[in-house]
Structure 1
């Protein structure tokens, strides 16, 4: 698993756990809004 994939998995888990919003996740993963 690449570092980018690992970060994506971590961020998705944070969203599912309700710790961050989808918007925050997108910013963390550097997706455009």
Structure 2
């Protein structure tokens, strides 16, 4: 899965969808505080 939106809310969703043996590539550049 490639996440390139820059939306920080999409990252946990991408990780959940790729489990347990998938790979996630994060290309977005979110701004602001992250949890």
Could you tell me the TM-score, scaled by structure 2's length?
A: 0.38
Larger Rg: 2
Could you tell me the TM-score, scaled by structure 1's length?
A: 0.39
Larger strand fraction of residues: 2
Larger helix fraction of residues: 1
